[in-house]
Amino acid sequence: MKNCNCFKELKEGLKIKTGDALLSIDSLMMIRRRWEEVPAIMYHYHKKNKNGELCKKESSSPISFNFCPWCGKKYDYESQEVEK
């Protein structure tokens, strides 16, 4: 993906600051049939059942950004090559 390095730099900075080389950020998303590590917000919700009532089980899904939240550069998701 041809984007800025802000997220990678943030992750590396957090590894240095915390002293944890195994630090991870929940940020993997499926974009154009590839797993990419991008900044994302995970939201949690309850689906509705056939009767229109909310299910007890919680579901979740990510929302990605169109622009980098740190530098403002537009992400270029379209120019990615699709793995076959």
Q: What share of the chain is helix, strand, coil (3-state, %, to 5)?
A: 15, 35, 50
Instruction: Give CA–CA dist 60/70, Å, rounded.
Output: 25
- Give pLDDT tens digits for 44-70: 999 999 999 999 999 988 888 888 888
**Any idea where the domains of the chain sit in the sequence?**
6-64
| CA distances (Å), origin 72, targets 12, 37, 54, 57, 63 | 20, 17, 37, 36, 17
pLDDT at 80 over 60: no
Task: Flag whether the pTM goes above 0.85.
Answer: no
Based on DSSP, count helices (H) and strands (E) in the chain, helices before strands: 1, 4
Eight-state DSSP code of residue 66: S
